[in-house]
Structures are given as structure tokens and as C-alpha cells.
Amino acid sequence: MKNGEKSALILIDIQNDFCPGGALAVPGGDEIVPLANRLMTRLPNTVLTQDWHGAGHLSFASSHEGKQPFETTELSYGPQVLWPDHCVQGTHGAEFHRDLDTDRAQLIVRKGFRREIDSYSAFYENDRKTSTGLAGYLKSRGIDTLYLAGLATDFCVAYSALDARREGFAVYLIEDGCRAIDMEGSLARMREEMRQAGVRFIDSTDI
């Protein structure tokens, strides 16, 4: 077991809407589920995140007259990509992939439930100030090392990895446990930001 009890696996947004057939499908999103299940048996702690928007969320293109999905707009905290309606609370799309072994998780963090603020990261909403409470939870449990996998590499996984570094955690991104949206070079851009922030890229076989 890696790093004793002081490490945790953080599985980001493995939900139906990010899998093929979902509202904001990430290519191959469902392929990571068996690996995510294996990883949960290998690491001593697991946290799941769940994108959890109310209907009419301001990150939805449908909430803005004349805007199309994947365009950008300006919200109170800065630029925000507009998405198709996705992960609406209580819907099938917001549920975890049915094969994900959610029983193993110790904590589920729901994020993006404030209408005015999107939340890519598991730690801070997109204003980069409003906390989800996850850093405090992990630190008060003495956890200092995080292994990240999930969807999507270049949005929620990347923002989570960057915030985790900002909070002082050692961060390993499990590359074969992630899939990307890759919008206009977003994957290369976010990989470079993560590298500069000290995120280490590993393969699941390294664990």
C-alpha cells in the first residue's frame, strides 16, 4: 500500500452525463470505471466527487439568451465556458456510473450547487475562493498525498490537481485513469499548468 494511511484516491465526476450517451460525454469516459474500482482496493482512502447542479445553473448555455454550448461568457468571477445542461440534481445523468463501486468511498463531495458559481475543482469553486471543505477534511484526517483520476482530465481533474497543490498536498495524476474533453487545446494547456505546479503524472501500474 502506497504511503500508508496518509494517501487518498480522489475520483472526479465519474457520472453518467460524462460517459458516452450522457449530456456532456467525454470520449471513452466509461472506460475508466474498472480501473477506478481496482484503484479503490489499492489505496487506503477514497473520496468521490459529484458534479451537482440545479436546473437553470449559470454554467448552462440554456441559461443565457442566444448562447450555445462551448461558447464562453463572463460571470461575476471571470470567463466561464458554457456547457450543455448536465448533472442536474436528482437526474440519471447526475448519478455515478452504475458499475462504479461507490460503496468503497468514505466521502462524496458534491459541487456546483450554487446557481451563480460553477465548480470544476473538488476544493474551490470557480471563483477560486468558495471552499467545498475538502481540504479541511483531508488535512484533519492527516492525509497529505493525493492520487487523482476521473473526468475530465482538462477540466475538473486539472482544476482539482492545481488546487490540491495550492493546498500543499503531494499530487499524482493517474493518466490512464482519466479521459479528456480536449476543447481547443485545453488538454495540452492544462497538462502544462499542472506540470509547472508540481503535479506528477503516473500510470496506474506505478501504484
| Contact set with Zn ion (CB under 5 A) | 51
67 noted as active-site residue: no
13 noted as active-site residue: yes
Q: Is 147 in the site for ligand VGL (CB under 6 A)?
A: no
111 noted as active-site residue: yes
**Segment contacting ligand VGL (CB under 6 A): 30-38, 95-103, 138-146, 147-155?**
147-155
Contact positions with ligand VGL (CB under 6 A) in 33-62: 51
What does the alpha-carbon distance between residue 38 and residue 100 come to, in Å, rounded to a whole number? 10
- CA angle (90 as vertex; 89, 93 as ends), nearest 5: 80
Q: Which residue is nearest to Zn ion (CB)?
A: 51
Q: Which of 109, 149, 156, 207 binds ligand VGL (CB under 6 A)?
A: 156
Q: Is 13 in the site for ligand VGL (CB under 6 A)?
A: yes
The one catalytic residue in 118, 156, 163, 178 is: 156
**DSSP 3-state of 142:** coil
**DSSP 3-state of 172:** strand
DSSP code string of 63-96 = GSTT--TT-EEEETTEEEE-B-S--BTTSGGGSB
What does the alpha-carbon distance between residue 111 and residue 49 come to, in Å, rounded to a whole number? 7
Q: Which residues are catalytic?
A: 13, 111, 156
Interaction site with ligand VGL (CB under 6 A): 13, 18, 51, 83, 120, 151-152, 155-156
